[in-house]
Amino acid sequence: MAARYELKYIIPERVAVQVRQFVRQHLELDEFGEGQPNFSYPVHSLYFDSDDWKIYWRTTNGDKNRYKLRLRYYSDDPVTPIFVEIKRRMKDIILKQRGRIEHNAVPELIAGHFPRGPHLRSPDEVHAIERFLELMHEVNARPKMHIAYDREAYVNDHNNEVRITFDRNVRAVPRFNGKISTELENPLICTRDQVILELKFTNRAPFWYRDLVQAFNCFQTGAAKFVEGTNLYLGRGLPDPDIIRNMVL
């Protein structure tokens, strides 16, 4: 289980372009963004929740030790992996567990069964999938929301202790049938000219993070994509930034 810190900021596109130039003095473009439009690649997540939205409400209420359950994927090509993920917040630390499954195993997982294959999973991956199923059963969670966005990412060239991402074009659609798809019909638009900037690190933030925040007048806030999409779906509108300050999952 990886323990990391995440600092989130919402900035306009014109500022994001300037921040990009600053970041490139310290980090390298993620390999998946090379050669892509706007240096970005698509990210898709299928979030699970109960019929009465227990996980959503725990986040909006700022409950301690809350978590998200999701399937993360980057393509609907059946030969690509899907990652079963638990993203948990414990005070200021973000803990993430993930394990690989195949596209044809998703119905098994949704039905509450440990999915078959691949056969080379690590013990940590097996534990992550088992724990996902336990939490899923605890709240009777089922597929609820498909969240998609475009991610521009920068990383260290020698380790993953420091990572910065720019997330744009965040969209949401209800996806109760659990279908793994990259198509979004009539999506709810969560961001327009706004960019979600995330400064991520393990152990200690590099000194230049502070310089970045000060130089571009960034104010830390919450930016929970699942919550924003669900707010729109439930007709609640996007929450006020002051209200979601602690929603950092």
Model confidence, pTM: 0.91
- Mean pLDDT across the stretch 124-145? 97
Domain ranges of the chain: 2-233
At 173-190, the pLDDT tens digits run 999 999 999 999 999 999
- Mean pLDDT across the stretch 87-92? 80
User: What pLDDT does 92 receive?
Assistant: 67
Pairing status of strand 194-201 against strand 28-29: unpaired
Candidates 3.40.50.460, 1.10.260.40, 3.20.100.30, 3.40.630.10; CATH matching 2-233: 3.20.100.30
The CA-atom distances, in angstroms, between 173 and each of 104, 166, 183 are: 22, 21, 10
Q: Give 205-226 as a DSSP string.
A: --HHHHHHHHHTT--B----HH
- Mean pLDDT across the stretch 41-48? 98
At 14-31, the pLDDT tens digits run 999 999 999 999 999 999
At 190-227, the pLDDT tens digits run 998 899 999 999 988 999 999 999 999 999 988 899 99
